[in-house]
Amino acid sequence: MSPTPIAARPGETYFVPGVRVMRLNKMPHPGPDVEAQEIVELRQDIMSVTVTRPCTGAAQYCILLNNWFDSLPRDRSVGVGPREEIVGGQPVWPRFKYNDFTVLDFGMRLRIDMRYFPDAGSALSTTDQQAQKWVPMVSGPISDMRFTFSDRDGARLQVCGEDDLCILKNKNPQKVDYWAVPEQVIVDDVLRRANFPLPLAPPLIPWPTFTESSAKALAEAHFEGQSYLDYLMKFADRWDFEVFIEYVSLDDPNSGLEFHFEPSRCRTPPDQTLRELYIVERGKNLVEFKPNLRVVDQWTSVTFCGHDHHWQNPNMICATAPRNPNPLPPAPLPGADPDTVADELHIDRARNDEPLVSGPEWRRQKFTLNPHTEINQRGIDSERAQVMAEALYRKRARDFLKIDTVTIGLPRLRAGKHAEYRGMRAPFDGFYYVEKSEHTYGDEGLRTNFTARRPGMPFRPKNGP
């Protein structure tokens, strides 16, 4: 039997994962992290690393470490590393490694990077080439430590923290009133008062026009004791915005950080140049696939009503999303409510994907209308009422189809990106928005668990082809 040719053998790609822990400056700053250094001592002690990234809000990390000097007997007289205490030519007992908080301490800023180690001499696809570069996952201070001393597991240390949004969790010391100040100016002032050092990145989708107009500004107040982040999240919830921190470039871990406060990225079409990177396919890299459909809870329309912000005006203001609610069934229309969630129903025309019908339209067809009304809202105008109605409508529509997925570790496949499923056939194939991702380095190598959503799917009549 002749030996298998080398070219036919599988390479190391996706089989030799790597993770590293970097020490950063104590405070984030604009620009590159030129002083980032790997904590080399942790390499041999890392047992597992988990990074959780939501599409909006703070990302978290946890690192599980061996907390024990475990050298051979011949090394005991000289100690292992400069920190092991030696008395009378012998290491001091017990030989705990990180109890002194010298290497890791509260408030120390860390960055977690992940990758697969390079294949030597392989002709790699774009996906594999990207996978073999260090990808920055999360940067932020240590907030929690959990020590374990067990006769079964030995000495271990779990170190956890969250990204630099934690700076905005500080409380506002005194009430600040904003009279007729545009929301864009308010956001800038909140960041200034919080001493938040990161720049505000330009949004992929423009903010509503009323947020930059002094003539359309309303009265707002940041109350004492309310955190800066909670105050910003109030605006984000109203307008369907996402608040997050991301790296300037995933190709360069030291590229620095940017602060994002912008409309939900799910409305941005998937970048076709990343198609090869974000495909998860049955029989290749799709480990688990668990779709969940919720039809009956869908709202076929949302009406948002409240009092005009001018107290002299007794009139009620109402806005409805979609602007032209669907008539009573029948008469189904593929891609219904085109002015609301159609910009989230992305399809790949090159693959002849079927048109997608929104979750609210599925509800209308299967269970008739289900309108929802929010009343007695205060301090609004017609433009803001419309934006708030559409925000509520979108949030409920996004509960229509969600998929919990496990794939091989793909550090770039993270919350805020799109994933493309293939090999499951209609109605599940196509583009989805990743709303939460969990990246784990451990006994199984690298794994990425993520939840993806799409507010619609192809509509096929029961007796259709």
pLDDT tens for each residue of 168-220: 999 999 999 999 899 999 999 999 999 999 989 999 999 999 999 998 898 89
Answer for the pair 153, 57: CB distance below 8 angstroms, yes or no.
no
pLDDT tens digits, 307-325: 876 666 667 899 999 977 6
pLDDT of residue 336: 46
Residue 351 per-residue DSSP state? G
Answer for the pair 405, 281: CB distance below 8 angstroms, yes or no.
no
- What percentage of residues in the chain have a pLDDT greater than 90? 64
Give the chain's mean pLDDT.
87
pLDDT of residue 380: 84
The Cα 457–Cα 465 span in angstroms is: 16
The Cα 23–Cα 54 span in angstroms is: 23
More confident position, 28 or 326: 28
pLDDT of residue 338: 56
The Cα 139–Cα 255 span in angstroms is: 12
Predicted confidence (pLDDT) at residue 43 exceeds the cutoff of 70: yes
Answer for the pair 56, 236: CB distance below 8 angstroms, yes or no.
yes
- The whole-number average pLDDT for the span 344-362 is 90
Q: Is residue 131 classed exposed, middle or buried when 0-12, 13-18 and 19+ CB atoms within 10 A define those classes?
A: buried
pLDDT tens digits, 452-465: 999 999 987 554 44
Q: For 35-39, 245-249, 325-329, which range has the lowest pLDDT when averaged over its residues?
A: 325-329
- Its pTM stands at 0.90
The Cα 26–Cα 28 span in angstroms is: 7
pLDDT band at 3 (very low <50, low <70, confident <90, very high): very low
Planar angle of CA 32, 274, 14, nearest 5 degrees: 85
- The whole-number average pLDDT for the span 123-150 is 86
3-state secondary structure of 293: strand
Tell me the residue type at 275: R
Buried b (16+ CB within 10 A) or exposed e, 277-299: bbbbeeeebbeebebeeeeeebb
More confident position, 220 or 15: 220
Q: What spatial distance separates the first Cα and last Cα of the chain, rounded to whole Å?
A: 50
Predicted confidence (pLDDT) at residue 9 exceeds the cutoff of 50: no
pLDDT tens digits, 72-117: 655 555 555 667 777 777 777 778 889 989 899 999 999 999 998 8
pLDDT tens digits, 393-449: 999 999 999 999 999 998 999 999 999 999 998 899 999 999 999 999 998 889 999
- What percentage of residues in the chain have a pLDDT greater than 70? 86
pLDDT tens digits, 109-132: 999 999 988 765 556 666 667 778
pLDDT of residue 80: 58
pLDDT of residue 151: 84
Answer for the pair 240, 343: CB distance below 8 angstroms, yes or no.
no
Q: For 47-56, 60-69, 114-123, which range has the lowest pLDDT when averaged over its residues?
A: 114-123
Predicted confidence (pLDDT) at residue 276 exceeds the cutoff of 60: no
pLDDT of residue 1: 40
pLDDT band at 277 (very low <50, low <70, confident <90, very high): low
3-state secondary structure of 128: helix
The Cα 27–Cα 141 span in angstroms is: 9
pLDDT of residue 260: 97
Angle of helix 228-239 relative to helix 183-193, nearest 10 degrees, comes to 160
Most confident of 17-21, 68-72, 122-126, 326-330: 17-21
Q: For 71-75, 355-359, 371-375, which range has the lowest pLDDT when averaged over its residues?
A: 71-75
pLDDT tens digits, 257-266: 999 999 999 9
